[in-house]
Chains A and B, each alone.
Chain A
Amino acid sequence: MRIDGVARFGLPGLFVLATASPLAGQGIVQDLVISGGMAGEAWRGDFVSFVIPQVDSTNQAVAWVGEWSANGIFNLARREQSSLDAIVDVGFRQFAPGGFQLRRYSPREYNALLTARYHRDVADGRGGALVAEATARKHGIDDRPPMPLYLPPGYRSYRLKAGYETTLAGSRASLTVTGESADYGAPVLLPYLDLLDRRSAVVEAAGTRRSYRSPDSGEYSEVRFFGSYRYHTYPRQGLEGVFRVDHAVGLGGGYELSAGRMDLGVSLDGTRSWSNSRRVEYHAGRLGVQMQLWKVWREFGLSVASDLAVKRYRHQSEEYAPVPGEEADNGAALYAEITRSVARNMDAAFRLGWQRVETSFTGAYYTRFGGGFFLRVRPTR
């Protein structure tokens, strides 16, 4: 798969230039972290994805993975009432898989993200705050392997977001509008990938109430409710000039707690989706839990994130008719990471991850399990 030249060299180049710039010494670099590590992963299952035409007779695969990444936050402008930040994230991952019958694959993943974020207080912050954000992302993959080693396809996406937040009766209220375009840029031999191209518009309204446990401790609990409307078009999914258009309404809530050495977040949301194609209409629900424990034992910290997602089509068919890119009905994931500072500007992390994805109709599934060791260096710390 072709890797876009701009994403491959342009954004990392910009990143290097930004960090090497003399401005780095003037406080423009808010945070910069470079990380590298190795992981071992195993996949198992008989899941079939429309957009991975490569096939192999195996149901099991393993891989060693080497990873490099860099992430930085740069304060481009900071005034009393406004700020402009840039967030840059680049990463490279090389897989050395084993277990396939036909040939040895050598997948390489690249990722580049650039976000510019503008924040402005309205009327000294008493009138609320405005946020505008522009994001460009490129995810590329070379030599994508067959299932069950599922790696997301390459794409480029652009997102614009504008939001306003204010305080109403002691609670924060916000309204956010987002527009996004994702292009999977399918090469000639893999035309199926174009089916995933998507244009989206999302409007979300949220209300958040935060209660501080005491005025100066920084400990708080927070309850958040939100509702959203999402509009998606798939310009490559359709017949005779009629393309798939989805409308979805979502409702959800979340709870956050920061107390002592623990940060906890729980969120739950549900979606109902309509479409001009009956077979893709669905109900869906998602539960997410995140927890961070600091100094859980000596200097060790523990972070955990888990996600459970369930989808049910509203019109069940007698025949199995999977939707491109949406072949699964249920998904669950659990990530855990133990971290420890090993030097003034270096942290070590041991990460474990587990994931299971399945279809309700045929029972097809894949699981992914792995663990790795990473070092993170902060040159500016």
Chain B
Amino acid sequence: MRRLLLHTAGTAAICLLAPLAGLRAQVAAVSPQAVVESRQAEYEEAKARSEAARLAAARVRDEWSQLLEQHAAASRAGDRDRVRELLAVFQERSPEKSRLEQAWRSSQELWREAGQELVAAIDDYLEKLWPATEQSVGAAEYENALYNELFSTLRRVESELPEVPLELEPMPEVTIRPGDTPGEILYKARLMENRVRYYASLAAELDQKIEVLAQRQRREQNRRDFMTSHERFGDGVVPIGNERRELSDPASAPAVPIEVRIGQYRELREEVEMRMLELSRKAEEFRGRTGGGQ
């Protein structure tokens, strides 16, 4: 308790006096707690901005969908005037829609960055706290409490952060134009081969991620299977009375279940595989057109 009070008083004094001396930035750089607090404020602000941008983009997208429906109805009814009128509205609103969608994507990016910075700051703080907490269960109470609180924040932030989109960039369409020289065709073939190599490394990385998650999943499933199998028919229930059913912890379940994450990675892996095959086939075809040159 005494350490807690001293720590709080010290931090408060630093925060109050530092701006007067123009030293706050330097102090923040040396005090991990101040860094965490400042990054957390930035993170909350970025999160709120992203949410506002999402709502704005969603509103415009809803209006856009309604316009599309109206356009389809007008086309079906053969109402050319209405179709022309709607096309003009599309043209007028298109820049606004693009701007808001771009703003939302950017705000998500900023939110992710703020989150990563906060996670890094917490990690750094945890690392500094770790020697104090690892000594024993009876280590300094304040450090233990702070450690657990920071760790909870870390898990919350990690679960809140928008997922990095699990999708690939659109695949460029590479074709042979009428005036292409054999050298240009070969160059295009090499470009595609480079892309295949990139996809191969991405596939290997995805395989590794899937493997790690699958191992964790199997461990959890084995444990659940074992407990369920001997509880299912009440084999453990004997005529002794005093049956104490274990009350489940309202413990936090992961925001995205492990099964869903594995599914997302598998889908991406399949797409990568498909692109590799397609690009390899095309590169081979291009090389064939040049007479198999290197």
Binding site for B on A (CB under 8 A): 27, 30-31, 33, 35, 49, 51, 69, 71, 75, 80, 83, 89, 91, 93, 109, 111, 119, 121, 124-126, 129-131, 133, 139, 150-152, 161, 163-165, 167, 169-172, 174, 176, 178, 202, 204, 206, 208-215, 221, 223, 226, 228, 248, 250, 263, 269, 271, 273, 282, 284, 286, 292, 294, 301, 303, 305, 307, 309, 311, 323, 325-331, 333, 335, 337, 339, 341, 347, 349, 351, 353, 355, 357, 374, 376, 378, 380
**Closest residue to B154 on the A side, CB-wise?**
A215
Cβ of A211 and Cβ of B233 under 8 Å apart?
Answer: no
Given contacts A167-B152, A326-B239, contact A341 B218 (CB under 8 A): yes
Chain A: minimal CB distance from B134 (Å): 8
Cβ of B234 and Cβ of A357 under 8 Å apart?
Answer: no
Cβ of A333 and Cβ of B222 under 8 Å apart?
Answer: no
Residues of B within 8 Å of A208, CB to CB, are 249
**Closest residue to A248 on the B side, CB-wise?**
B242
Chain B: minimal CB distance from A260 (Å): 12
Chain B: minimal CB distance from A247 (Å): 13
Partner of B239, one of A174, A269, A327, A337: A327
Looking at A169, A208, A221, A355, the one whose CB has the most chain B CB atoms below 10 A away is: A169
Partner of B232, one of A89, A119, A176, A327: A89
Given contacts A119-B253, A292-B223, A303-B222, contact A91 B232 (CB under 8 A): yes
**Closest residue to B258 on the A side, CB-wise?**
A30
Inter-chain CA distance A202–B252, complex, in Å, is 22
B199-243 Cβ-contact flags toward A at 8 Å (1 or 0): 000000000000000000011011111111110111111111110
Which of the 9-residue segments B16-24, B143-151, B181-189 touches chain A? B143-151
Which of the 9-residue segments B100-108, B125-133, B168-176 touches chain A? B125-133
**Closest residue to A230 on the B side, CB-wise?**
B244
Residues of B within 8 Å of A333, CB to CB, are 236, 238
Q: Any chain A CB within 8 A of the CB of B273?
A: no
Given contacts A83-B253, A215-B123, contact A111 B233 (CB under 8 A): yes
Given contacts A27-B260, A49-B239, A309-B240, contact A292 B230 (CB under 8 A): no
Cβ of A165 and Cβ of B156 under 8 Å apart?
Answer: no
**Closest residue to A303 on the B side, CB-wise?**
B226
Residues of B within 8 Å of A161, CB to CB, are 247
Cβ of B148 and Cβ of A286 under 8 Å apart?
Answer: no
Residues of B within 8 Å of A131, CB to CB, are 248, 250
Cβ of B241 and Cβ of A326 under 8 Å apart?
Answer: yes
Chain A: minimal CB distance from B226 (Å): 4
Residues of A within 8 Å of B156, CB to CB, are 124-126
Inter-chain CA distance A174–B247, complex, in Å, is 11
Cβ of A326 and Cβ of B126 under 8 Å apart?
Answer: no
Cβ of A284 and Cβ of B242 under 8 Å apart?
Answer: yes
**Closest residue to B150 on the A side, CB-wise?**
A215
Inter-chain CA distance A351–B152, complex, in Å, is 38
Cβ of B239 and Cβ of A171 under 8 Å apart?
Answer: no
Looking at A151, A212, A228, the one whose CB has the most chain B CB atoms below 10 A away is: A212
Residues of A within 8 Å of B137, CB to CB, are 211, 221, 223
Residues of A within 8 Å of B237, CB to CB, are 152
**Closest residue to A374 on the B side, CB-wise?**
B229
Partner of A31, one of B126, B130, B221, B244: B221
Cβ of B227 and Cβ of A378 under 8 Å apart?
Answer: no
Cβ of B239 and Cβ of A339 under 8 Å apart?
Answer: no
Residues of B within 8 Å of A75, CB to CB, are 257
Q: Any chain A CB within 8 A of the CB of B10?
A: no
Inter-chain CA distance A158–B135, complex, in Å, is 46
Chain B: minimal CB distance from A266 (Å): 13
Residues of B within 8 Å of A130, CB to CB, are 250
Chain A: minimal CB distance from B212 (Å): 11
Q: Any chain A CB within 8 A of the CB of B288?
A: no
Inter-chain CA distance A328–B242, complex, in Å, is 11
Given contacts A80-B255, A335-B230, contact A355 B238 (CB under 8 A): yes
Chain A: minimal CB distance from B142 (Å): 9
Residues of B within 8 Å of A169, CB to CB, are 141, 145
Cβ of A91 and Cβ of B233 under 8 Å apart?
Answer: yes
Inter-chain CA distance A94–B79, complex, in Å, is 70
Q: Any chain A CB within 8 A of the CB of B259?
A: yes
Partner of B148, one of A151, A210, A311, A357: A210
Residues of A within 8 Å of B227, CB to CB, are 305
Cβ of A202 and Cβ of B247 under 8 Å apart?
Answer: yes
Inter-chain CA distance A129–B237, complex, in Å, is 31
Chain A: minimal CB distance from B155 (Å): 9
Partner of B250, one of A119, A286, A311, A355: A119
Inter-chain CA distance A206–B248, complex, in Å, is 11
Residues of B within 8 Å of A211, CB to CB, are 133, 137, 144, 147-148
- A-B contact sample (8 more), CB < 8 A, given A139-B234, A333-B238: A31-B221, A75-B257, A119-B250, A131-B250, A169-B145, A172-B249, A214-B130, A357-B240
Partner of A164, one of B232, B235, B240, B250: B250
Cβ of A376 and Cβ of B225 under 8 Å apart?
Answer: yes
Cβ of B222 and Cβ of A292 under 8 Å apart?
Answer: yes
